[in-house]
Amino acid sequence: MHSKFSRQSVDKCQALYRIIFTDSFYLLNNKGVNSMDLSSRPISRQASRAMATAILVAALGLLGPLGSTVAGAHGDNSDPAYLHLCVNAATGDIAVRSATATPRCNHSDRSAIHVPLNTVEGPAGAPGAPGADGPQGPAGAAGADGADGAPGATGADGPQGPAGAAGATGADGAPGAPGATGATGADGPQGPAGATGADGAPGATGATGATGATGATLLAGGGPLTGGAITEYVRAGAYATNAVQANAAVPVPTNGTLSNLVIAVTSAPGIAESYVFNVLVNGLGTGVQCNVTNFGVSCDSGPASHAVLIGDTVSLEAIQSAGSVATVVNFSMILTPAV
């Protein structure tokens, strides 16, 4: 059954709980050390917490729901697995009894309770400060080698080491294929002239070359002039003059051009007198002409020219002024063949 306690008993239980749990870990009651119980006997924090909780719970009438037993006087109970609490009926004092304590709860006590020590656990206290590190234990045996790790990244190239000693000369290799012909080098400076060589043997006569173009032909002639107002004709290729043009005309041998008429007389015509000379082709004037006047004794036709065909006739006409004197005339002109 459950027992009910006075307000005074409840206050005593609370005071005892605080003393047991928070101060000295020795069994105390509200009046000090109880010489009948576990006087000056240290107990663990767990036991102190269990006893204080049991006392407080019994005082509040809550022990029943936690599974603890509340009964009448049972001073003969000596089970060490229980915490024995006795409440004095006359004074309201609470005493804690162990299994070997003397005296146990007696019949004059108002009530007796016992709580299993292995079922009551209070809330966890705040963690204590970490203890100092213990001394280092002996070194353990070396573990087995672990599996090889993955290869690391290739490190940067180190500095170049010193050159090694020269190795022995190897055997000659097989000849390589001929290389491509290189570019022609620049001409070197000309060397000194060599000695003149001996004359070679005469070569064979070469083939006859093609006939060259016909060269220019010189047409020339001359004859005496009577003087006075008269016209006479001078023949080319002879020394002769004639009063009839047809008698002095000479045919040309090729197609070509007449040019470069040159005249020379042995006597000048005189003051204000003249000799006029004209080249005639087929009896007609050609523009190739020149004049000897006054005291002159020669003249030429300059750049004038006239084309002729093979077979045309050529003659030189001499017109003399009225006061001119008799003389002898000589002439020449060039016939250039056509190409």
* Better-scored residue on pLDDT, 148 or 279: 279
Lowest mean pLDDT of 70-79, 120-129, 151-160, 293-302, name the range.
70-79
Measured distance CA(22)–CA(17) in Å, rounded: 8
Is pLDDT at 209 greater than 60 in this prediction? yes
Tell me whether the omega of the peptide bond preceding residue 103 falls within 30 degrees of 0, making it cis.
Answer: yes
Nearest to 233, CA basis, from 338, 318, 124? 318
Query: Which residues share a beta bridge with 116?
Result: 82
Average per-residue pLDDT in the chain? 77
Residue with tokens 């709980």: 17
Segment holding 277, helix H or strand E? strand 274-281
Is pLDDT at 202 greater than 50 in this prediction? yes
Q: Which domains occur in the chain, in start order? A: 7-116 (no CATH), 217-337 (2.60.120)
**Whole-structure pTM value:** 0.41
Is pLDDT at 61 greater than 50 in this prediction? no
Query: Strand, helix or coil at 55?
Result: helix
Residue with tokens 């966890």: 124
Is pLDDT at 271 greater than 90 in this prediction? yes
Report, as an integer, the average pLDDT of 55-71. 40
> Which pLDDT score is estimated for 96?
63
User: Which of 12-26, 29-43, 57-71, 284-298 tops mean pLDDT?
Assistant: 284-298
Nearest to 323, CA basis, from 208, 226, 227? 227
Report, as an integer, the average pLDDT of 82-109. 60
- And the tokens for 329? 């005339």
Report, as an integer, the average pLDDT of 283-291. 97
Is pLDDT at 38 greater than 50 in this prediction? no
> Which pLDDT score is estimated for 71?
39
Q: Residue 168 class from Cβ within 10 Å (0-12 exposed, 13-18 middle, 19+ buried)? A: exposed
Measured distance CA(239)–CA(55) in Å, rounded: 192
Sequence-distant (6+) residues with CB within 8 A of 260 are 300, 301, 332, 333, 334
Asked if 83 and 104 touch (Cβ cutoff 8 Å), the reply is no
> Which pLDDT score is estimated for 333?
97
**What string of DSSP letters covers 201-216?**
PPPPPPPPPPPPPPPP
pLDDT in tens, 7-30: 555 455 455 445 444 443 333 333
Is pLDDT at 87 greater than 90 in this prediction? no
Phi and psi of 277, rounded to 5°? -115, 125
Sequence-distant (6+) residues with CB within 8 A of 290 are 261, 263, 277, 299, 300, 301, 302
How far CA 329 is from CA of 196, 221, 258, 299, in Å, comes to 59, 9, 19, 11
Asked if 278 and 290 touch (Cβ cutoff 8 Å), the reply is no
Asked if 74 and 128 touch (Cβ cutoff 8 Å), the reply is no
Banded model confidence at residue 328, pLDDT cuts 50, 70, 90:
very high
Asked if 27 and 96 touch (Cβ cutoff 8 Å), the reply is yes
Residue with tokens 């049972």: 74
